[in-house]
């Protein structure tokens, strides 16, 4: 089973919570990335790993001509409804179904790290970007600056076997992600971080949104959901207010801006 099929099944298993509650909370990060990649009216824009289309909608609201790709058909249905004029395809980010030099701006938000071959993925982003265009990608920053670290540690402790790979922070140390860009032939012009806070009216809504994510769905294949929920609830006190609302943050997100 290929990476796209695996990720498509995980992220498409229960997409509603992610699409409706969690994903739109990344707007502050995406505003920066759209500015840095120069997305304006008439820009040809690719949302690589577009999910439910919240970023695509922001680009469309700027007047961009939007294309998107994702492995999860369930999320793509949201993207198509949010940006009816956009062109959205289901596929593999490691083998983009677009012609060379198609886009002025390419953004891969929270997607490159899920690819089996990250270098091939970045080379694909480079291939479809015009020579004078701009590419950006983002993922979690260093774990000590990410509130989600406590949750990931609690969930890892419930698993019968240690997860394979480097986990959610494999590419987060300074210099690691930018080195992949450079190995893929891209010229890095900036790396920076921005803090995001994920807010929910109560723990139930928080759980609903996060159980829709690929990583949580992946863990649920090895661990019963009630055991996962109990483990996460045990580390949530610092993020729960007296009225029961959840403010999960800060979470550092690292983004890279590059030229083909």
The reported pLDDT for the residue numbered 1 is: 45
Residues 6+ apart with CB under 8 A from 135: 37, 105, 106, 107, 108, 125, 126, 129, 186, 257, 258, 259, 260
Does the pLDDT at position 152 exceed 70?
Answer: yes
Does the pLDDT at position 26 exceed 60?
Answer: yes
Q: What CATH number does the domain containing 69 carry? A: 3.40.50.150
* Domain with 127 in it: 3-259
146 - beta bridge partners?
251
Count of domains for the chain? 1
Lowest mean pLDDT among 3-17, 185-199, 212-226: 3-17
pLDDT category of residue 56 using cuts at 50, 70 and 90: very high
Chain mean pLDDT for the chain:
96
Tell me the pTM.
Answer: 0.96
In tens, the pLDDT along 203-239 reads 999 999 999 999 999 999 999 999 999 999 999 999 9
Q: CA distances (Å), 4 to each of 44, 52, 88, 135, 145, in order?
A: 24, 16, 15, 21, 29
The reported pLDDT for the residue numbered 195 is: 98
The reported pLDDT for the residue numbered 167 is: 85
Cα angle vertex 232, ends 230, 236, to 5°? Answer: 115
Mean pLDDT of 250-260: 98
Q: Kindly report the number of other CB atoms within 10 A of residue 226's CB atom.
A: 8
Mean pLDDT of 100-120: 97
SS3 state at 146: strand
Does the pLDDT at position 2 exceed 70?
Answer: no
- Burial of residue 123 (CB within 10 Å: 0-12, 13-18, 19+) is middle
The reported pLDDT for the residue numbered 42 is: 99
Q: Kindly report the number of other CB atoms within 10 A of residue 104's CB atom.
A: 21
């Amino acid at each position: 089973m290929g990476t796209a099929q695996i990720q498509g099944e995980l992220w498409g298993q229960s997409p509603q919570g992610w699409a409706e509650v969690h994903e739109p909370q990344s707007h502050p990060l995406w505003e920066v990335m759209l500015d840095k990649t120069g997305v304006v009216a008439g820009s040809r824009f690719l949302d690589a790993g577009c999910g439910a289309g919240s970023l695509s909608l922001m680009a469309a609201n700027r007047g961009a001509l939007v294309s998107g790709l994702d492995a999860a058909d369930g999320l793509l249905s949201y993207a198509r409804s949010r940006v009816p004029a956009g062109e959205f395809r289901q596929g593999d980010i490691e083998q983009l179904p677009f012609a060379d030099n198609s886009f002025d701006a390419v953004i891969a938000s929270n997607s490159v790290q899920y690819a089996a071959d990250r270098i091939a993925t970045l080379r694909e982003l480079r291939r479809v970007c015009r020579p004078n265009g701009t590419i950006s990608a983002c993922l979690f920053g260093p774990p000590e600056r990410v509130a989600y670290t406590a949750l990931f540690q609690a969930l890892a402790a419930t698993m019968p076997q240690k997860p394979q790979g480097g986990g959610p922070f494999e590419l987060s140390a300074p210099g690691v992600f930018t080195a992949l860009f450079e190995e893929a032939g891209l010229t890095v012009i900036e790396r920076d971080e921005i803090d995001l806070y994920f807010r929910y009216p109560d723990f139930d809504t928080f759980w609903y949104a996060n159980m829709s994510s690929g990583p949580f769905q992946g863990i649920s294949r090895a661990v019963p959901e009630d055991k996962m929920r109990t483990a996460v609830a045990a580390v949530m006190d610092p993020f729960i207010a007296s009225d029961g609302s959840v403010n999960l943050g800060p979470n550092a997100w690292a983004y890279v801006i590059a030229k083909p």
